[in-house]
C-alpha cells in the first residue's frame, strides 16, 4: 500500500478549491461613505491566482456587515467576529483573515470652514439682492465651521427676509434637514463719503481743510451727508460733538439760519395764475426749506411761509 500514498496525496491536493490560500489583510481603521458596509471595505485581498481573487472578491463585496447612515456612530469589528460571519456565509470557501485584531469603522467627513460657509451663503444673498452698486455682506452672527458627511450634504436658504438682513440656512443630509441656522447680517455698499479728520465740537463750522472725501463701505440706507455739501460748508455747523474719522450723516449737521427774527423779506404768493409780491417781516429764525411765520407789513396779517433763500419766502397760507 505504501507506494500509492504519494499518488493519493497528489489527488487530494489537486481536488482542493482553487481559492485556497486567499488572505484578507484587515486594516486597523477604515473610513467609509454612508451606505452599505461590506467585508471588502475592511482590508486588502490577496490570492494565489486571479481566478480565486475574482471569486473571493465578489463574495466579499456581497457580504453586508451594516448600513452606515450619516448619523451612525463609529463601529468596531473584532477579527474573530468577522471570521465567524465569513464562515457562516461561505462555509465552503477558505479565507484567512490576518492583520489588525480589531477594525474601527467611521464615516468620511468633510469640513465646511466658517469662511467657506459664509461665502456660500453670501453668494445666494447677493443673487436675491441683485445690487447695482458694489455690495458685500457682513454677518452679525457668522456661520461656524461644521463637519459633514463627504458628498452627502446640501444647503437650502430661505431668503424671504434677505432685504431686512435675515436668512435661514438649512443643512440637508441625504435629503433630510440635519442642521438649521438663523443668520443676521448687514448689507454694506461702497459709497462716496465725507469724514472728519480730527475731532469736532458741537456748533463749530465745517472746515474744508478738516473734512476728507473718500470711498468707504457703509450700511445700505445710511443717510449720508452728500459730497455736494463741500460746495457750501460755510452754511453748515456740527450738530453734536464728533470724533475723528467719523463718516458724516445728515443728522450730524445743521445749517446756519439764513433768516433771523424780525428780518424784512420779500414774500411771494401764487394765486389764480398770478404771482404776487409783498414785503413782510419774519417772526422766527429759519434755514432754507424751513416753514416759519411772517407778517405782512402793509396789512399786519400773519402768514405761514417757506424760506427760499436769505431774502425770499413763499407764502403757503
> How does pLDDT run across 115-155, given as a tens digit for each residue?
899 999 999 999 999 999 999 999 999 888 888 877 778 89
How far is CA 176 from each of CA 42, 44, 70, 99, 180, rounded to the nearest angstrom?
28, 34, 10, 38, 11
Q: Which of 56, 65, 66 is nearest to 90 (CA)?
A: 56
237 is a domain residue = yes
Contacts of 34 (CB under 8 A, 6+ apart): 68, 69, 70, 72, 107, 149, 152, 174
Q: Which of 249, 252, 229 is nearest to 239 (CA)?
A: 252
13 is a domain residue = no
Same domain, 142 and 202: no
Report the CATH number that the domain containing residue 222 is assigned in CATH. Answer: 3.90.1210.10
Angle value at C-alpha 105, between 99 and 110, nearest 5 degrees: 130
Q: Indicate the number of domains in the chain.
A: 4
**DSSP code at position 205:** B
> How does pLDDT run across 251-308, given as a tens digit for each residue?
999 888 889 899 999 999 988 788 889 999 999 998 888 999 999 999 999 999 999 9
> How does pLDDT run across 31-41, given as a tens digit for each residue?
888 788 999 99
Among residues 188, 222, 246, which one ends one of the domains? Answer: 188
271 is a domain residue = yes
User: H-helix or E-strand containing 82?
Assistant: helix 79-89
CA 125 to CA 137: how far, in whole Å?
Answer: 8
Amino acid at each position: 500500500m505504501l507506494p500509492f500514498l504519494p499518488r493519493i496525496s497528489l489527488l487530494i491536493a489537486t481536488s482542493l478549491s482553487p481559492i485556497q490560500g486567499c488572505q484578507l489583510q484587515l486594516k486597523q481603521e477604515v473610513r467609509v461613505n454612508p451606505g452599505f458596509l461590506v467585508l471588502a471595505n475592511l482590508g486588502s485581498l490577496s490570492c494565489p491566482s486571479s481566478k480565486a481573487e475574482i471569486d473571493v472578491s465578489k463574495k466579499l463585496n456581497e457580504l453586508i456587515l451594516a448600513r452606515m447612515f450619516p448619523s451612525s456612530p463609529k463601529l468596531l469589528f473584532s477579527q474573530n467576529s468577522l471570521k465567524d460571519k465569513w464562515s457562516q456565509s461561505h462555509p465552503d470557501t477558505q479565507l484567512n483573515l490576518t492583520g489588525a485584531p480589531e477594525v474601527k469603522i467611521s464615516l468620511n467627513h468633510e469640513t465646511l470652514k466658517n469662511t467657506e460657509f459664509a461665502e456660500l451663503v453670501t453668494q445666494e444673498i447677493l443673487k436675491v439682492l441683485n445690487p447695482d452698486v458694489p455690495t458685500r455682506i457682513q454677518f452679525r452672527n457668522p456661520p461656524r465651521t461644521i463637519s459633514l458627511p463627504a458628498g452627502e450634504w446640501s444647503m437650502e436658504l430661505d431668503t424671504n427676509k434677505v432685504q431686512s438682513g435675515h436668512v435661514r440656512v438649512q443643512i440637508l443630509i441625504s435629503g433630510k434637514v440635519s442642521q438649521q441656522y438663523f443668520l443676521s447680517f448687514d448689507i454694506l455698499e461702497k459709497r462716496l463719503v465725507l469724514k472728519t479728520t480730527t475731532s469736532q465740537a458741537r456748533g463749530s463750522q465745517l472746515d474744508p481743510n478738516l473734512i476728507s472725501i473718500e470711498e468707504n463701505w457703509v450700511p445700505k440706507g445710511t443717510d449720508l451727508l452728500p459730497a455736494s455739501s463741500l460746495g457750501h460748508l460755510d452754511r453748515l455747523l456740527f450738530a453734536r460733538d464728533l470724533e475723528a474719522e467719523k463718516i458724516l450723516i445728515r443728522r450730524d449737521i445743521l445749517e446756519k439760519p439764513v433768516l433771523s427774527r424780525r428780518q424784512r423779506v420779500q414774500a411771494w404768493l401764487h394765486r389764480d395764475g398770478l404771482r404776487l409780491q409783498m414785503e413782510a417781516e419774519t417772526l422766527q429764525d429759519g434755514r432754507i426749506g424751513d416753514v416759519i411765520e411772517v407778517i405782512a407789513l402793509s396789512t399786519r396779517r400773519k402768514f405761514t411761509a417757506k424760506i427760499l433763500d436769505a431774502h425770499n419766502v413763499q407764502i403757503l397760507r
